[in-house]
Structure 1
Amino acid sequence: MASQPATIAAATPASTTVTAPSNRVLSIDVLRGITIAFMILVNDAGDGHHTYTQLEHAAWNGWTLTDLVFPTFLFVVGMSIILSLNSRLQRGASRRDLAIHTFRRAVTIFVVAMLINLFPRFDFTHLRLYGVLPRIALCYLVAGLICLATQRIRTLLSISAVLLIAYWVLMRYVPVPGFGVPTHDIPLLDPDKNLAAWLDRGIMGFIQRTLHTGRLYEGTRDPEGLLSTIPAVATTLIGAATALWLRMAEGKSAVMTRAQCAISFLLFGLLGIGSGLVWNIWFPINKKLWTSSYVLFAAGCALVGLAACYWAIDIRRFNETKLGSKLTWPWLVFGSNAIVAYTVAAVIEKTLYAIHTSDIGPTGKPLTAWNWIYWHIFASHGSTNNTSAAFALAYVLVCFIPNWILWRKKIFVKL
């Protein structure tokens, strides 16, 4: 990992005032920061049995606010791919060098993910090979190479459409070995009898027999499995196409105003939401399977969020007001080192879970340091949705501190 101070708008250590150079779209950084902060919030409830519905994933079909976090992050990854590639091309980098850089960065993210999964006991027997960071790495790699080959909006959206339709055909019409044809022999998107789950069990079984490692997050299936990465790549490509559209309102060669761009984001977002809800009738919105309807719905929500951020920050310059700078700054701090924030959150949590105290918890077992903090500080008079959410918010603030230190030192880590 290397620090690259040029990758974010200038930060003034002694002040929270946030401004952006003319060639910087600050709203993307804000949206990334909001997303990663919310990701930490929903991942780290004090008590998993007491959580507000919108702060946990839908059990299966359907959606909550939590289900929109990961696709929004991949959407922003797609936007960042375009901005990064174009910046490097303008500095004279060759496409071959960029392809190597893309591959190297994807591998680095995957290695970091494996180290996090292994920490702190480094037990290779039950190593989870899938996960959030591995999916980010794979989507970044595939989408990055595609964007190196073409940066035509129509082409990227066409590829996305092909991926979404192909995934629907696979999940809807392909017989699942040992179970039968969806909607005929088995329910469509049966939790354990769908094609994605069957494939992941087969892959993991092979890895366990040959490498003696590997596990699925939910035992018989994994929400970040291999087959469902196909539509996740589409999510990333939609973000890339959005960045290309955004460029049409930026710079000397702009062909539309920023206001027109913001309105188009809103309209396209509403179209995506509507399309996802319509497709949901035949192919249910499902985050754990990353269904095609889910991709359209989540991308639409991301576009609406981007439209709001773009209008407030890059058009109305809300961040340059006294109040706006204070409200914008935390999200910029989080967004400037998003992967660092995610890694810090995972490492601290796993460390506290690995430490056991002598106190006995409500289940009759010794409390881990993580649970001790929750039950003695936040839930000493009983666990509720409020105490669980308060713990999660406090943890977000804890994870903010390392990012704030890096921000003050103008260190922006790129894996």
Structure 2
Amino acid sequence: MPTPPPKSQRLISLDVFRGLTVGLMILVDDVGGVFPSINHSPWFGVTLADFVMPYFLFGVGVSVGLVFKKVPNRVDATKKVLLRTIKLFVLGVLLQGGYFHGSHDLTYGVNVRKIRWLGMLQRISLGYLFASMSEIWLVDNSAVESIMAFVKKYHFQWMVALIVCAVYMCLLYGLFVPDWTFERQCVTPSYNCSYTQTVHCGVRGSLDPPCNAVGFVDRVLLGLEHMYQHPLYIITEQCSVNSPDYGPLPPKAPYWCLAPFDPEGILSSLMVAITSFIGLHFGHVLLHVKDNLQRLVLWVVTSLSLVLAGYVLVLLGIPLSKPLYTLSYLCVTVGASGLLLGIMFFAVDVKEYQKETLVMQWMGMNALIVYSLATCEIFPSVVQGFYLGSPENNLVDGTEWVLQYCRSS
């Protein structure tokens, strides 16, 4: 009898995990505006949409652990990682920097003086860079034959991750945030004008929208014009009469409601690196633990411990906040990522429910393409081009009307 072909070593559950993440991103982007309960939390707290970014970053870490299990030449591997990071970062600037305007404004082009430098793909590229560099340069090539050998092999990675986390916490709570100003547009129908508005801070350790260290670092290093101009804190109770949905400003709304803030900022990206690093650790377990039950036990125990630690931190006064990427938010979302990957692994790779997840597999294997099309709103723009009688009678606007009707009912 002919020898059967060797079983594929590809981790199908990781593709399904990525595909589910992309699907979740499309869902919350298209439906979140109609159903605020699944949209991003305005500032504190966590909703379904707030798990998308950590899922992406966690998956990146797991992938890096599998790709760089053997590094024959560290210099060549570093060059490849740097090139891939640059490509991903530049693509992110193109997609989210303001060049594509979306289905409600079918134009393109951006003023380079106001281009947004940071975004979701840029953040993923930074997480990939950190995880890859630590896997290439901070791991020895010794075999893992015991728990102590496992610890010895990866202890430098953990030391660097703890240092990065400590730096973020020190800056978040110790950096002095001075008063700052921004240009505010006049609400005048007869002519356009702007004036300078001052936000009074002069504090340390504030986690509120106007005076936190994350926004301060971005204002200094990026400049207000290169930050995200429509931050979600516009739907907080202080800034919207319909909170947690969009609405007009309250009569005594604070000045900072209309100020820019980047949810993918520089300082918070330090914690992004930690998210990818924890995903890297899950990949290490997959490599060195051969028994599927032991893998699942280690993943579940680690994930539940992280979720528990996150809520303990909340009780200690560190709130959940995606814009700041607080330590509690990191623990809860990464723990949820590990649990979801464990479920996918058990269902897809252990029980081999693979035909049932073919769509998610395809989306996961082509995650960058699907993400790019969704980010540029190419899907709705193409559909919007077909209408009945007049351009307003198209499937996109009709679907939005139906969703709004369902919500009002």
User: Shorter-normalised TM-score: what interval?
Assistant: 0.7 to 0.9
Match of 2:282 in 1: 242
Give per-residue Cα distances to partners, 1:300-345, cap 9 Å, x unaligned.
Answer: 11111111111222222232xxxxx12x111101100111110011
> 5+ residue gaps in structure 2?
101-106, 140-152, 180-200, 232-258
Alignment match, 1:123 = 110
Opposite residue 373 of structure 1, the aligned amino acid is L
**Secondary structure of 2:223's partner?**
helix
For 1:222 and 1:350, locate their aligned partners in 2 and report how far apart those are by CA, in whole Å: 26
* 8 A contact 1:275–1:296 mirrored in 2: yes
1:301 matched to 2:328: no
From the superposition, tell whether residues 126 and 268 of structure 1 become closer, same or farther in structure 2 (CA, over 3 Å): same
Contact 2:60–2:128 (CA<8 Å) still a contact in 1? yes
User: With structure 1 as the length reference, what TM-score do the two structures score?
Assistant: 0.73
Give per-residue Cα distances to partners, 1:326-369, cap 9 Å, x unaligned.
2x11110110011111001122349839x89999xxxxxxx987
Conservation of the 8 A alpha-carbon contact between 1:168 and 1:283: no
Three-state SS of the structure 1 residue aligned to 2:324 is coil
- Count of residue pairs the alignment pairs up: 333
**Separation in 2, partners of 1:386, 1:25:** 43
Contact persistence 2:300–2:342 (CA under 8 A): yes
Larger radius of gyration: 2
Output the CA distance in 2 between the equivalents of 1:267 and 1:80: 21
In structure 1, C-alpha distance between the alignment counterparts of 2:278 and 2:391, rounded to whole Å: 42
How far apart, CA to CA, are the structure 2 residues paired with 1:368 and 1:192?
41
Q: Does residue 137 of structure 2 align to residue 149 of structure 1? A: yes
What's the CA shift for 1:21? 3.1
Alignment of 1:3-22 (within 5 A): 21-22=7-8
Deviation string 1:214-237 (CA, Å, 9 cap, x unpaired) is: 654524311000110001100011
Distance 1:147 1:138 in 2: 14
Distance 1:199 1:342 in 2: 28
1:5-48 Cα offsets, whole Å, 9 max, x none, are xxxxxxxxxxxxxx993422221111111111101111122x72
| 1:51 aligned residue | 35
1:247 and 1:386 map into 2 onto residues whose CA distance is 51
Deviation for aligned residue 1:239: 0.6
Query: 1:276: Cα distance to partner?
Result: 0.7
Q: CA deviation at 1:154?
A: 3.5
1:101 aligns with 2:88: no
User: Alpha-carbon deviation of 1:83?
Assistant: 1.4
What does 1:349-364 align with in structure 2 at a 5 Å threshold?
A: 349=378, 352=381
**Within the alignment, does 1:317 sit opposite 2:339 as a pair?**
no
Q: Hey, what does 2:216 align to over in structure 1?
A: 198
> Do structure 1's residue 136 and structure 2's residue 127 form an aligned pair?
no
Letter in 1 for 2:299: F
Structure 1 portions without partners, runs of 5+? 1-18, 320-324, 360-366, 388-415
Aligned equivalent of 1:269: 303
Higher helix content, 1 or 2? 1
Residue 290 (structure 1) aligned with residue 332 (structure 2): no
Q: Secondary structure at the match of 1:190?
A: coil
The residue type equivalent to 1:165 in the other structure is A
Tell me how far apart the structure 1 counterparts of residues 12 and 6 of structure 2 sit (CA, whole Å): 6
Relative distance call for 1:307 and 1:196 in structure 2 (3 A) is: same
State the partner residue of 1:379: 401
Alignment of 1:138-217 (within 5 A): 138-151=126-139, 152-178=153-179, 179-182=201-204, 188-205=206-223, 216-217=229-230
Contact 1:126–1:215 (CA under 8 A) maintained in structure 2: no
Greater relative contact order (CA < 8 Å, ≥ 6 in sequence): 1
Question: What is the distance in 2 between the residues matched to 1:77 and 1:20?
Answer: 26
Q: Percent identity?
A: 27
**Distance of 2:221 and 2:59 partners within structure 1:** 30
Distance 2:61 2:48 in 1: 21
Kept in 2: contact 1:75–1:238 (CA 8 A): yes
Alpha-carbon distance in 1 for matches of 2:391, 2:166: 46
CA spacing shift, 1:20–1:297, aligned 2, 3 Å: farther
Residues 1:377 and 1:265: Cα distance change in structure 2 (over 3 Å): closer
In the TM superposition, residue 136 of structure 1 has moved relative to its aligned partner by 0.9
SS of the equivalent of 1:58 reads coil
User: 2:209 & 2:391 partners in 1: Cα distance?
Assistant: 32
1:346 matched to 2:329: no
Residues 247 and 182 (structure 1 numbering): CA distance in 2 closer, same or farther, change over 3 Å?
Answer: same
Q: Specify the SS of the correspondent of 1:24.
A: coil
How far is 1:194 from its partner?
0.3
- C-alpha displacement of 1:267: 0.9
Instruction: Work out the CA distance in 2 between the residues paired with 1:331 and 1:175.
Output: 46
How far is 1:85 from its partner? 2.0
| Residue in structure 2 matched with residue 80 of structure 1 by the alignment | 63
Q: TM-score, normalised by structure 2?
A: 0.74
